[in-house]
Amino acid sequence: MTRIQQAVRLREAVVPGWLEEVVQLRPAPVPWADMIRAVIALCVPLSVAIAAGQRALGLLIAMVGLLGTVTDPDGAYAVWATWVARRRCSAGQPASPLARPFMAAAGLP
């Protein structure tokens, strides 16, 4: 019996089948929609600004687009801001202008 066969037998004896199935590597799906959004958010403003001779403005807009592509739209900050906006509206207080996009996303006035 070779060393490889011994190693296979040892692994089969030590590692249960269910654990081997759980930790098995699988390829992740390619996020095409996110990639297309990133191309639009980064390349289009840069291209238009460079063509117009306003490279600094294009870089600023592209950085905002980069921020929009790498953040999670349903992440902790969005949930927190929606919660704050709901609390303020239920208390009769006017919402902060910064919270209005999150209020609109939550369907609040």
What is residue 95's predicted lDDT score, i.e. its pLDDT? Answer: 57
Residue with tokens 């590597």: 25
Task: Indicate the number of domains in the chain.
Answer: 1
User: For a pLDDT cut of 90, what percent of the chain falls above it?
Assistant: 14
- Distance of alpha carbon 59 from alpha carbon 69, whole angstroms: 15
Q: Is residue 2 part of a domain?
A: no
Q: Is residue 5 part of a domain?
A: no
| Helix 55-70 with 32-52: angle, nearest 10 deg | 170
- Distance of alpha carbon 30 from alpha carbon 50, whole angstroms: 30
Mean pLDDT in residue range 10-38: 84
Q: Is residue 97 part of a domain?
A: yes
- Distance of alpha carbon 67 from alpha carbon 45, whole angstroms: 14
Q: Is residue 60 part of a domain?
A: no
State the pLDDT confidence band at 102, using cuts at 50, 70 and 90: low
Q: Is residue 95 part of a domain?
A: yes
The residue ranking higher by pLDDT, 20 or 43, is: 43
What is residue 78's predicted lDDT score, i.e. its pLDDT? Answer: 73
Q: Is residue 90 part of a domain?
A: yes
Q: Is the pLDDT of residue 48 over 90?
A: yes
Q: Is residue 40 part of a domain?
A: no
Q: Is residue 101 part of a domain?
A: yes
The residue ranking higher by pLDDT, 92 or 81, is: 81
Mean pLDDT in residue range 42-51: 93
Q: Is the pLDDT of residue 4 over 60?
A: yes
Q: Is the pLDDT of residue 108 over 70?
A: no
Other Cβ atoms within 10 Å of 109 Cβ, number: 7
Note down the domain range covering 98.
74-109
